[in-house]
Amino acid sequence: MSYEKVSQAKSIIIGTKQAVKALKTTKVLEVVVAEDADRRVINKVLLLAEEQQIPISKVDSMKKLGKACGIEVGASTVAIIN
């Protein structure tokens, strides 16, 4: 499951703005997006990832995604990088 992938990843970038920056500047291996996130918030990440043909995984909960990242708040988007 993607939560495990996020928690075991060596390097991640948490949040939509940071994920957009990472997609523009660094090598992103995969993007994980929470299904309960506002579509307007995550749309730019989804478009950039699709343009660059980066795999997109979807999880059901922002809260669980945040927990997998080791933070106390929800996360809408996580980029797994090298």
- Domain count of the fold of the chain: 1
Residues 37 and 45: their CA atoms lie apart, in Å, by 12
pLDDT tens per residue, range 8-25: 999 999 999 999 999 999
Mean pLDDT (the chain, rounded): 94
Range of the structural domain that residue 15 is part of? 2-81
Which residues lie closer than 8 Å to 28 by C-beta, 6 or more apart? 13, 19, 22, 49, 52, 54, 79, 80, 81
- Backbone phi and psi for residue 67, each to the nearest 5 degrees, phi listed first: -65, -40
pLDDT band at 2 (very low <50, low <70, confident <90, very high): confident
pLDDT tens per residue, range 32-50: 999 999 999 999 999 999 9
